[in-house]
Structure 1
Amino acid sequence: MGSFTIISTTLHLLLLSSTVYCGPLFHEFIYPNFTHSEFIYNYNTHSGAFLASRNGTFMATITSPNPLGRAFYLCVIHAPSNTIVWSANRNASISDSAKLRLTANGLTVTDDAGNVVWSTAPFHVPDVSLLQLQDSGNLVLLDRSNATLWASFDHPTDTIVIGQKLPIGESLVGAASEDNFTAGDYRLTVTGGDAFLQWNGLTYWKLSMETWAFKDTNFPVSYMGLKSNNGTTITNGLYLFGDNGSTVVIRMDLAESDSFRIAKLGSDGQFVVQRFVSTENKWVQEFTGPGDICRIPIVCGKMGLCSNGICGCPTRFQGSTQMDRRSGVCRPSNSSYSLPSACDDSQLNSSSISYVELDKDIDYFAIDFMEPVKHGANMSVCQDLCSQNCSCLGFFQEKSSGSCYLLENQLGSMTNSSSAVNDRLGYIKALVVSSSANPYGEKDKKGNFPIVGLVLLPSSGFLLLVVGILWYTRKKRLSRNVIVKLGSRNSFLSGELETVSIEGFPVRFDYEELAAATEKFSTQIGSGGFGTVYKGTLLDKSVVAVKKITNLGVQGKTEFCAEISIIGNVHHANLVRLKGFCAHKRQMFLVFEYMNRGSLDRSLFGNGAVLEWQERFQIALGTARGLAYLHSECEHKIIHCDVKPENILLHDNSQVKISDFGLSKLLSPEQSKLFTTLRGTRGYLAPEWLTSSAISDKTDVYSYGMVLLEIVRGRKNWTLQIVRQSTENDSNGGPSSSSSVLEHRPVYFPLFALEMHEQKRYLELADPRLVGQVTGEELEKVVRVALCCVHAEPLLRPTMDKVVRMLKGTLPLSEPRVESLNYLRFYGRRFTDGPDGMPQVNVSSNNTTGDQPNAYSYLSSQQLSDPR
């Protein structure tokens, strides 16, 4: 028996030390001094395989993905399904006469000339003892002590299998095509908080945005992996794990099954999870991201338009009748214009640059994941930014926020906007080949300029002249505006404002016309800190709201002019429009569009019909959009300073508009430090009002967060809640009997929201009248956004632009910082302990130390509010 063993071992070593020509299939191990060459490539019969795992599930082979192809790769395949799960030399294919060598220095693949095209990492000491293909599919090099020197799992290509980790910073890279393993342009990357799909560095999908994906904890991500239960508490699914390898950060549960699974980034840009059903010998696809094929960056080629999975070209562009996916190109319809390449030398001459406007319902796949290059920019500013950047091939400008997004380096496919209200407008850079023809082959109706988004005049000198004229005209107009807005006291006292005509401003009404429209101001519909509002009907039958300004001191007169100058030039779907004004003797009036459903507080806190959840969400989103416009879109930043339900107006068809922003302040960072006049309403006032901190747009963000919590609950943030209190009766000395009484107990909802957020019990925060209308995920989104908005430190609060994108789901949700929300616990205690449920704070002391952090935030309404 012993002699037979020695002879067998000797024959085995002799076999391994020789060159193998289509030799035997080894199982689990191969030792150094092994060469594999002149292999027969028949992928389906594994003729090129030289090593199998112990259980036979995986094989190491040199093969071609195309039976008729001549490009070969060192691969690991899943044998039952003939599926390649890893490849070595993906960017340097070899011929069928190349060689694979295993030596003490590692594994090497050489071409016909003997040049190394791929190898494992060099080792300081030649210590490779064997090559092993494990039952998991991991191909490893081991040293003499069986320690791993190199593993294929550490160098993933486009696929991971069960048990394989894709650590943070690593990526799956899709192949160029199904027959070409060369690395393509699509990449799946794991970050500290999510997993992203990218095309040429542009994100177009993330795991957390999927409805199947659930976030369990806020731990930083360590790696992605596929798991099966295998008797553990973790179910089948795709997971992002934390540092300890057992804490789940994000999970996507899959069907319970012991089938083999892979997660793969395909050459088409889709990330799929699929399992192999051996009894039927087929793959079952369990998940695809993105599910909408039109979200894939190049699905319809350069500038192609994807609509419901069908490819075409945008208006003013043309291509083949049916755009070839990925390889197609849409070009401007008129041959006088061509699409430039990034940093094309012909762009050096600015007069040769034009811009073709896209239709309003067209969007770009990457914008929802991009940071704008500039906020508060108009279309001209965006155009200049693109024209001055040779890598810029187009831009989108968002009206509500003034955000400017540049499309750089490469253009992908366009898609129809999924939003019912898309306020982004896109422009594609084009080079003027010939200025003699109209871009669309026809004359413009006005006969002056072609119908293009922006067309630069051919003469740079004439352009400078036009710019100079516009600058001078604007300067003159602004100087007039400043005179009106900051005019002397005497102009008011002498009644000169009655004769002022403000160029570009709303119409000036006669006093008699407004008196007749309001039936001598008889129908009062509201009041505020600066006046009373009446309902009226003008001669053209349009219904208006007329605000009669009262309580005007010298400061008030200045603010009246400020209101005209501000809101007269502010136009946004979520801001109440000023239709005109009137100055009659010492009386001033503002005429607004009429919102027939009144203010939000009436619908939210009143006894009428309950606001449905979807309408509440649209109100929250519309309000956020309006504030984002005030903060970013206007020429000067406008800070509302009194965001509350009473200043959010509703109209038919779920229209929502912000009012009273004209009596706000236009602040520069320098001016905000000098702005100390208190403005606002109890419960919505940001802490920085009572400190030396600068007043900024983040004060509005705080107020908005408080309003958002009230929208969730359907009640004021501080309320008396009816609870049942147990009592005991023992009047005769006998056994006590229990009973209960109803009592009012003060509740501070922001603190309750923080506590429920910490416990992930979001459904308990919803208005009880909304049972069955809202999910925990929807509530989590809104509550997390609200808590981020009410951070004590202004710098930790998001901008309103980010709030809009988080609510829309186009930006990952931020995580509330509990350390910046602990002041809610202090206020909650003071609220419940104070007389009549009102907290008592000594304003003059401004005590913010000890166990009363941020006590300055909590003042009574009489101390903080303007007269209401």
Structure 2
Amino acid sequence: MGSFLFIPTVFLPFLLFILVSGGSFSEFIYPDFSASYFHFIDNAGAFLSSRNGTFKAAIVNPDANQHNFYLCIIHTASNTIIWTANRDASISASAEMNLTAKGISISDDDGNPVWSTPQFKSSVSALLLNEMGNLILLDQFNHSLWESFQNPRDTIVYGQHLPVGSFLSSTLSNFSTGDYKLVLSGSDAILQWHGQTYWKLSMDTSAYTNSDAIVEYMAINGTGLQLLGRNGTVVVIQVLLSPSDFRIAKLDSSGKFIVQSFSGTDWKQEFVAPTGDCQIPSVCGRLGLCTASTTHSCSCPVNFLVGSQDTGGCVPSGSYSLPVPCNSTDNGSQLNSPAVSYFRLDYGTDYFSNIFFDPVRYGVNLSTCQDLCSKDCSCLGIFYGNSSGSCYTLKDVLGSIFVSESAQNDRLGYIKALVGSTPSNFSDNKNPSRKKFPVVALVLLPFSGFFLLVALGFLLWGRRGQSKKRDIKLGHFGSLSSGDMDAVYIPGLPRRFDLEELEVATDGFKTLIGSGGFGVVYKAVLPDKTVVAVKKIMNLGVQGKKDFCTEIAIIGNIHHANLVKLKGFCAQGRQRLLVYEYMNRGSLDRSLFGTGPVLEWQERLDIALGTARGLAYLHSGCEQKIIHCDVKPENILLHDQFQAKISDFGLSKLLTPEQSSLFTTMRGTRGYLAPEWLTNSAISEKADVYSFGMVLLELVSGRRNTLRLQSHSLNNSGSGGGQSSSSSVSLLVYFPLFALEMHEQGRYLELVDLRLEGRVTSEEVEKFVRVALCCVQEDPTLRPSTNTVVGMLEGGIPLGQPNLESLNFLRFIGRGFTEASMIDEGTDQNERVLYPEAYASTATMDSRTFFSYISSQQVSGPR
């Protein structure tokens, strides 16, 4: 580069023009240099190239139908723009970019500047485009004065850091800056629209948290997307992706954050957030109602109409108008308006910001919440929770609303509207549908009312007769009033089934397919031929219908590929039934411990990963954290291709306080219970991590963690005559301790299910065992999060090293309190206590037989 610096400045533009015209590009240009699209039209506007041609700088027209040109950095192979200088101020094909000792400036045809770099203390000596796509201004000492990487637009690439405090902003179709931003905070990456949050990376099901360190920057690399801290040495949050040589992360014009990789000639989309279109704040325009399906659909809520081309979105029907923002010149119309009204939205609708912002007030009534909004010119509407008295306000700008798939409690929306007529024409501000009646209507109203009353009488008479017939039909299920379920309304509930429907679908509850602590499960076929599983809930005591329905609304609106979907419910009389999707391969215990075809190692890995991902979603991906409390093979169901799905999640919330006596059977299963359950310590999601670790060990061995070995003969000397008798001993194996012993010795293959016959490597088994031992550590704070477990199983996070001191309790259980049962063959099955010390010196027992032992009373439990 030094030789270029001695070339007389006057010849540089001419020399560069010759190089470019001849098809050769330089990675450097020097002051004084000018370029326009016309100057380099033969090279499609390109005037600068990185050393190996991976990127180029050009003045281009992104849309051939427009006459707007921009200074851009382009990924050459894909012809993708990764950075734009003047995206809010286009120029013509003849307008120029100039490089001087002061920096870069772009001017219009009249010479007026439209974009420039800031002022510098040193003079610019060169402009460099490097192989990462970074455009850099250098001083005479090759120090960076300015970089395009430090001034991001809508995209970041390999090698680029997006530091805390900076952001990406979307680009509109006309190349101007959009309303969406990806903001990086010290703990998360956040998508915002007009300052309102609508997505967080930490809540995404594909992301997992590795550390509580403070985030310093975001980057993408060959393994995925990462938020890093401590000078890049600690991964705080990570999204693991398939290995790739080149990928970009972009905030799309639609408001979605997309990561995609380039291979050969095609882009492959690897990650997109949010996944649902209805989560985008303005997907249906202002106050448009978004309904999710295969492709989302937009409509206007009840009492709203499609606005004009000027207003857009939806507007109130009748002589009402929406208020304007405080900073508008027309906001006086709101303050001087004769009245403020509120249009109520339908049940089951919600607004994106309610998920991410706390209410402005708690424990107030609806009138108080509306008054707060009426007195604030920035407030455009409210959402109010009837049961909690929570008041949420919608401020400054209104986006779309959506049909909620995870509606919280009984939150209802009210949109602020200005009454266009005098207050006397609108006597009830809570009923916007009331309007002034014409005289003709007043004359006809008595006659219309008479006919309406007659029709209503016939309708009620008919319903009364149907109700009586229905009560007789249901007979032994208990007497139900005609309004049994209508009296309870909880937004977000899944489909309601009648008890009669489910009785027909199950053929009178005929085909039993499972049972557990919460009840029994039957196979059912719905009228549309859909096969489902119907769980009849038992032992719920006097659980109130509304409480039950509130919990079901939460459970039913949790959707994840590794969670069994709740399709519906029934709550009639004292009956409580849940309708789930049918899992055709049954529960994991049948495939793992049964006599059918052996699960191959890859299938076990898929099951472990699926289960961990499902738990990670329950713990950190839901609006409301859910602790499963009973993770075990019986609650892990298998679908096609052995896809694992967790069942019975959230059901522990259905217990009432007086049911604490059901603690051991309803809140977990012995053998999978974390130690803190037994010591009355605080219970967190780490209790599920412990249970998962126990399941992981069972996946390794293909057997229960507590298992009776085949009988061994022992000679017992008689106390009187020196005679000996042969008896058979049945030993109870405690596999977690044996796994710890083999881990300490590095003998992982000795732990593997014998049926796999060498079809697994020691390294693969080591991964399972180390992850499992990390999960079952006695101290909950030492156990990894389920997000970290997913990362270790996938390979994106290094395997943890279990703390042996925190695993000593396994030795305590397996040796200090061990008693094995010794059963005399041919006797009445009397049990005798046998301590492990009796076997500690038995040299004839190999490592597969020399397990540690524990009493069945201590480790077994209801299945």
TM-score normalised by structure 2 residue count: 0.53
Please name the residue that 1:617 is paired with.
Answer: 649
In 2, Cα distance between equivalents of 1:148 and 1:301: 43
Asked if residue 312 in structure 1 is aligned to residue 299 in structure 2, the reply is yes
1:105 positional shift: 3.0
Please name the residue that 1:452 is paired with.
Answer: 431
Please name the residue that 2:143 is paired with.
Answer: 147
Conserved in 2, the CA contact under 8 Å of 1:394 and 1:406?
yes
**Are the structure 2 counterparts of residues 314 and 14 from structure 1 closer, same or farther at C-alpha, using a change threshold of 3 Å?**
same
Task: Show the 5 A alignment for 1:131-170.
Answer: 131-170=127-166
**What are the Cα deviations for residues 268-324 of structure 1, in whole angstroms up to 9, with x where unaligned?**
212222233434xx433333222211211111111111113111111111116xx99
SS of match in other structure, 1:354: strand
1:10 positional shift: 8.6
**Are the structure 2 counterparts of residues 427 and 620 from structure 1 closer, same or farther at C-alpha, using a change threshold of 3 Å?**
farther
Please name the residue that 1:269 is paired with.
Answer: 255
Amino acid aligned to 1:410: V
Please name the residue that 1:222 is paired with.
Answer: 216
**Are the structure 2 counterparts of residues 572 and 740 from structure 1 closer, same or farther at C-alpha, using a change threshold of 3 Å?**
closer
**What are the Cα deviations for residues 70-117 of structure 1, in whole angstroms up to 9, with x where unaligned?**
433221112233221111222333344433222333223334454443
In 2, Cα distance between equivalents of 1:449 and 1:714: 62
Amino acid aligned to 1:91: D
Asked if residue 172 in structure 1 is aligned to residue 173 in structure 2, the reply is no
Conserved in 2, the CA contact under 8 Å of 1:293 and 1:299?
yes
**Are the structure 2 counterparts of residues 397 and 83 from structure 1 closer, same or farther at C-alpha, using a change threshold of 3 Å?**
same
Please name the residue that 1:361 is paired with.
Answer: 348
> What is the identity percentage for the equivalent residue pairs of Structure 1 and Structure 2?
38
1:208 positional shift: 3.2
Conserved in 2, the CA contact under 8 Å of 1:19 and 1:35?
no
* Among 297, 301, 312, the residue aligned to 2:281: 297
Please name the residue that 1:198 is paired with.
Answer: 192
SS of match in other structure, 1:410: coil
In 2, Cα distance between equivalents of 1:317 and 1:542: 31
In 2, Cα distance between equivalents of 1:275 and 1:539: 59
Asked if residue 348 in structure 1 is aligned to residue 380 in structure 2, the reply is no
**Are the structure 2 counterparts of residues 336 and 604 from structure 1 closer, same or farther at C-alpha, using a change threshold of 3 Å?**
closer
**Are the structure 2 counterparts of residues 685 and 120 from structure 1 closer, same or farther at C-alpha, using a change threshold of 3 Å?**
same
Please name the residue that 1:394 is paired with.
Answer: 381
SS of match in other structure, 1:382: helix
1:214 positional shift: 3.1
In 2, Cα distance between equivalents of 1:648 and 1:346: 64
SS of match in other structure, 2:115: strand
Please name the residue that 2:37 is paired with.
Answer: 39
Please name the residue that 1:53 is paired with.
Answer: 50
SS of match in other structure, 2:650: helix
Conserved in 1, the CA contact under 8 Å of 2:337 and 2:419?
no
1:708 positional shift: 8.7
Please name the residue that 2:394 is paired with.
Answer: 407
**Are the structure 2 counterparts of residues 731 and 350 from structure 1 closer, same or farther at C-alpha, using a change threshold of 3 Å?**
farther
**Are the structure 2 counterparts of residues 572 and 21 from structure 1 closer, same or farther at C-alpha, using a change threshold of 3 Å?**
same
* Among 255, 267, 288, the residue aligned to 2:272: 288
SS of match in other structure, 1:24: helix
1:424 positional shift: 1.6
Task: Show the 5 A alignment for 1:579-594.
Answer: none
**Are the structure 2 counterparts of residues 621 and 145 from structure 1 closer, same or farther at C-alpha, using a change threshold of 3 Å?**
farther
Please name the residue that 1:189 is paired with.
Answer: 183
Conserved in 2, the CA contact under 8 Å of 1:356 and 1:427?
yes
SS of match in other structure, 1:452: coil
1:431 positional shift: 0.7
Conserved in 2, the CA contact under 8 Å of 1:644 and 1:684?
no
In 2, Cα distance between equivalents of 1:648 and 1:388: 54
Conserved in 1, the CA contact under 8 Å of 2:38 and 2:94?
no
Please name the residue that 1:130 is paired with.
Answer: 126
Please name the residue that 1:247 is paired with.
Answer: 234
Amino acid aligned to 1:296: I
1:144 positional shift: 2.8
**Are the structure 2 counterparts of residues 331 and 622 from structure 1 closer, same or farther at C-alpha, using a change threshold of 3 Å?**
farther
**Are the structure 2 counterparts of residues 147 and 336 from structure 1 closer, same or farther at C-alpha, using a change threshold of 3 Å?**
closer
Conserved in 1, the CA contact under 8 Å of 2:180 and 2:193?
yes
Amino acid aligned to 1:452: N
In 2, Cα distance between equivalents of 1:58 and 1:341: 44
Amino acid aligned to 2:189: A
In 2, Cα distance between equivalents of 1:42 and 1:645: 82
**Are the structure 2 counterparts of residues 411 and 645 from structure 1 closer, same or farther at C-alpha, using a change threshold of 3 Å?**
farther
**Are the structure 2 counterparts of residues 709 and 352 from structure 1 closer, same or farther at C-alpha, using a change threshold of 3 Å?**
farther
In 2, Cα distance between equivalents of 1:387 and 1:408: 12
Asked if residue 100 in structure 1 is aligned to residue 97 in structure 2, the reply is yes
Number of positions where the alignment pairs a residue of Structure 1 with one of Structure 2: 559
* Among 23, 28, 37, the residue aligned to 1:30: 28
**Are the structure 2 counterparts of residues 60 and 12 from structure 1 closer, same or farther at C-alpha, using a change threshold of 3 Å?**
farther
**Are the structure 2 counterparts of residues 193 and 455 from structure 1 closer, same or farther at C-alpha, using a change threshold of 3 Å?**
farther
In 1, Cα distance between equivalents of 2:271 and 2:53: 27
SS of match in other structure, 1:406: strand
**What are the Cα deviations for residues 123-144 of structure 1, in whole angstroms up to 9, with x where unaligned?**
2232x32111111111112233
Task: Show the 5 A alignment for 1:775-790.
Answer: none
**Are the structure 2 counterparts of residues 184 and 336 from structure 1 closer, same or farther at C-alpha, using a change threshold of 3 Å?**
closer
**Are the structure 2 counterparts of residues 20 and 371 from structure 1 closer, same or farther at C-alpha, using a change threshold of 3 Å?**
same
1:411 positional shift: 0.2
1:594 positional shift: 5.5
Conserved in 1, the CA contact under 8 Å of 2:36 and 2:45?
no
In 1, Cα distance between equivalents of 2:287 and 2:242: 39
Conserved in 2, the CA contact under 8 Å of 1:299 and 1:306?
yes
1:394 positional shift: 0.7
Tell me whether 249-258 or 78-87 shows the greater mean CA deviation: 249-258
Task: Show the 5 A alignment for 1:410-559.
Answer: 410-419=397-406, 423-434=410-421, 449=428, 452=431
Conserved in 2, the CA contact under 8 Å of 1:161 and 1:262?
yes
In 2, Cα distance between equivalents of 1:377 and 1:431: 24
Please name the residue that 2:458 is paired with.
Answer: none
1:36 positional shift: 1.3
In 2, Cα distance between equivalents of 1:199 and 1:211: 22
Conserved in 2, the CA contact under 8 Å of 1:644 and 1:703?
no
In 2, Cα distance between equivalents of 1:368 and 1:121: 40
Instruction: Provide the aligned C-alpha RMSD in A.
Output: 5.8
Please name the residue that 2:316 is paired with.
Answer: 332
Conserved in 2, the CA contact under 8 Å of 1:184 and 1:267?
yes
**What are the Cα deviations for residues 625-678 of structure 1, in whole angstroms up to 9, with x where unaligned?**
x9xxxxxxxxxxxxx8x894769999xxxxx9xxxxxxxxxxxxxxxxxxxxxx
Asked if residue 377 in structure 1 is aligned to residue 364 in structure 2, the reply is yes
Name structure 1 gaps, 5 residues minimum. Answer: 229-234, 440-447, 458-535, 544-566, 577-592, 598-602, 627-639, 651-655, 657-681, 688-701, 716-720, 733-738, 753-775, 792-823, 838-868
1:53 positional shift: 1.2
SS of match in other structure, 1:109: strand
In 1, Cα distance between equivalents of 2:367 and 2:664: 31
Amino acid aligned to 2:101: A
Conserved in 2, the CA contact under 8 Å of 1:169 and 1:189?
yes
Amino acid aligned to 1:16: L
